[in-house]
Each structure stands twice: as structure tokens, then as C-alpha cells.
Amino acid sequence: MINYLVNFTLCSTFLLGVYHLLLKNKTTFNFNRYYLLFSLLFSLWVPVMGLWFALTPKQPLQSQQTYIEPVPLSAPKQLLIEQSTAIKSIKVDKNNSGYVLPIFISLYILVAFVLLSRVTVSLNKIRKSIVTNQKVKYKGAELVLIDSDLSPHTFFKYIFLSKAKFDSGQIEQGILRHELTHAQQYHSLDVLFIRVLQAICWFNPTLFLYSRAIQLNHEFIADNAAVSACENILAYQELLLSKIGLPFGLEVASQFNYSITKNRLIMMNKTTSKTIAALTRLTVIPVALTCIILFADKSRAQQPEKPEQHSARQKQVPQDKVAQVQKTSDTQPDFIMFPMPSVIRDFPSTKEGVTDDQIAEYATIVAKYFDAKGNYLKHYPKIAATDHARMEEIYKQMSLTQQKSQIISFTYRAIVPAHGNKLTQTAFNAIKDGKKYGVWIDGKRINNADLDNYKPGDFDNVICSRLTPKAKDYSLYKFQAELMTTAYYKRYYNQWLADKDRAFITVHTNRG
């Protein structure tokens, strides 16, 4: 939501800047009108659109997690949570944590309500004026004759004039033509649109400048029509000067503004060649494309796989097909790439979930192991056995939705098969190449030449993984082969059997 608000403000500011730079001083008044309206609608739309061109798809989004091996509750000193990336802390103050967002929303609604109320009051005054005053048909519009001596103003087809001046013939044809142009071109629709948008999106200060630009451009359009009708620019300018000082009408109406500005007088005498006007209009295309590139929500074009979809897909893989045989190529060996089981059993949960008090208790325990200032963690202290046990107890009673919202959760160890992944002679010969493979035996790094002291049958499991270009040792080798001897893998499997029903902690580094 914050990204949308920021991009909407930046995009609308950018487009208004283009207007002032390229269009404001051109006599392409009607085009300028639609450009300003287009800028507002386009700025509202661009932040939520996706880029549908030439974007490299991202890899499936996976939950970033740090897994902590379980330890007996009687030996809490063995439990040390290690993490290489910073984790956002959580707020656990039950009385203050939920206040910020409601206050912000309440403030937004209050300001929007006040601004919308002002628009509603103005519309109601116009309605009453139309109903209670005399009306006269005039060239497809209606003249509303009012008793007060206000500046002439227009709302849709209604033109509001002083009754006394109209009856005495003091309303000049230039003024009538000016106001009739407002009525015929529905300028009130633009004014009403920008007023409502200002009320709803009051946080965007650029909208005030849009309102001034739109209404000033309306005056340019109406002035141009009035000058064309009387064919005497000097006489029309003198008419404007003679009317200075009259009070304005309502703000939501298009009104005959007697506030003569330097720009308005200049525009009456200015012309723009057809070539320059055409080239100026064409600039809208690259400007719009630039806005899409700068302010569109690019994440929508990526369509990454959701973490829950990725997890569900993992759980559907049959255990007997966890290891898949890879084809031989010049960049990877022809033996089984075994990413050591990713099949994880579901952790217990309940449909009812826990109470808010229990959620708060859980968060309070978690907060013990965060920075006192509530900022990013720099390191993890040890978790006490009592805290570990209480957190696990509460977590088991949570609903799935409650569990997914926790920054620290519990899970079981991934399933380990009884029999490992055997190493073939071809693969064994391949990993001797130290320029391609880094080799570990029973968790210890060895020189590739040391493999001459072994034979494939000495190993009961092998895991081979590809290094990324960002890996520390990527310049030394491209693959990492981890070998387990028969005795080591047996101990590894027996340890899994002993721990398979014991919960261990998972820290989610992409939440918060």
C-alpha cells in the first residue's frame, strides 16, 4: 500500500512537471485539458499494473529459513540459534503494538470526510440556488438569475448571473460566451473530479497544483472562445480589467475569474505552429512509457511461486523419488544429485487456535531473544529450556493461520531414508577433478587427491550441489560433493530416528 501511495504521488508529480515544461505555454488548450486528466488517471493506474514486456522471470519464491537442530530440554546450553542475515524484530507490547495503524486510518478517514463534506456543502448550495432562483433558457444552457452580485460562474449547463445586471443589460456578450464555453465543454465535470480526488487522496500535495492548472486551462479555453467570437482581443482584455473586484462564486463551479494574470494575458496573443503542436503531442508516448518503467509494480509481471505452493509441491514428492538421476553433461556429473530429503511432516495444529493472550505470551518469549531496542538482531542468545518448552506447547495449539504468522515456528526434521545414495565408479572418478569439485568426507574438507585412498563402496551416501556465482569458493570449483562413509551415515540415520519426533525451531527471515 505504501509503495502504491509513493508511486502515485511521484508519477503524478512527474507528469505535471512535463506539463509545465512542454505544454503549459502552448495554445493547444483542448489537448492540455485531456493531458491533465489523463495524467491523474494514468498515475492512479500505473502503480498497480504489471510490466508485460522483456522482464526476466524470477526463480520461485521460497521461504528463507534458518533451521536449528533440536536438543534435549535438560541441556539448554547446547541450543544456539545462528543466523547470517538480520531479522526484523516484532513488537510485543500488548497495549501499544496495534495503535499505529488504526490511528493512521482514523486520521485519513477524518481528513477525507472533512474535505468531502466541503464539496457536498458546495453542491447543496448550487442545488438550492438552481431551485430557488429564476431560470432563463440560453443557447442550450440555462441562466440562473441570482439576487447577489457574485462573479458569473457555471456548473454544468447552469450559468449563474446577477439578476439586476442581466435585467439592465449589463452582462456583456464576451462574458456570456466565456461562460457558455464552460457549460458546453462540461468543465464542471473536470472540477468536480479533481475536488473529489483531492478529498480522497489528500496526502498527495501535487493535486492542489493540478487543480490550479486545470482551472487555469479552462480559463484559457473560455478566453479563446470569447476572443474568437468578438474578434477584438484588446476589447476583451479591457472587459476583464473592468470587472476586477467582484466576489467569486462557489469553488466547485467554473467561474469567470477576473484575477488577471500575466500568463492569461499573454496566452490571448500567443499562437503555436501546427508542427510544434504535433511534436508536443507525440511526446506523450515516451513520457507514458517512462512512467510505466519507473512507477509500475514490476513484481506483478514476475508471478513468482508462493511459498505455500512451493512447500505443498515438496510434500507431494513420493519418498522413493526424492533422489533423481541427472543426465550427463560437461558441467555436472552423471551420478544422482541428492538434495537430502526435503520431505517434512506436518507439525501439529488445531482448528480453534489459541487466544490473544497466548499469542501475546508467545511473542513476549520470542522478544527475549531480540535487540532491546527492537531493531535488527545482531546475534542470538541461548534459548532457555523452559521458554523452548512453553513456546512449543503454545505452537501446537495454534491454528495453521496463527502458525504461519510467527517469526519463530516449530517443525520436525526432514525425513532421512534408511539407505543412502550410492556412489558410482564414474561419479567417483569425476569428483577427483579439483577444478570442478570441492569434496567433503563425513563433514570434513579433504584434498581431491585423497580420494585415491578410497573406493566407491566405502560410501553409503553422496550429496552433490552446484555453487552459485556469488559463492565464496566459486572461482576454485563449481560443485560441492559431500560423501558419507557407511559408518557415518548409519550414525546419521540413527540420530534421525532418535530425533524424528522432537521439534526444532525454524526462524523465518523473510517475515516482519
List the one residue out of 488, 489, 479 whose CA is nearest residue 432: 479
443-471, pLDDT tens digit by residue? 899 999 999 999 988 998 888 888 888 77
Average pLDDT value for the chain: 76
**C-alpha 324: how far from chain center:** 39
Residues ≥6 apart with Cβ < 8 Å to 143: 135, 136, 137, 159, 161, 166
| 28 contacts 277 by C-beta, under 8 angstroms | yes
Residues in the chain with pLDDT < 70? Answer: 1, 50-99, 231, 243-262, 297-344, 370-381, 508-512
Q: Write the single-letter amino acid at 436.
A: K
Per-residue pLDDT, 373? 45
Task: Output the pLDDT for position 80.
Answer: 32
pLDDT digits (tens, 9 = 90+) for 190-232: 999 999 999 999 989 999 999 989 988 998 898 888 888 776 7
**218 vs 188: CA distance, rounded Å:** 10
What residue spans of 322-355 are helical by DSSP H? none
Cβ count near 368 (within 10 Å): 12
Query: Which one, of 87, 183, 164, lies nearest residue 375 by Cα?
Result: 87
C-alpha to C-alpha distances, 485 to 161, 444, 455, 458, 488, nearest whole angstrom: 99, 12, 11, 6, 5
Q: What pTM was computed for the model?
A: 0.52
Quote the pLDDT of residue 55: 41
Q: What share of the chain is helix, strand, coil (3-state, %, to 5)?
A: 50, 10, 40
pLDDT at 343: 63
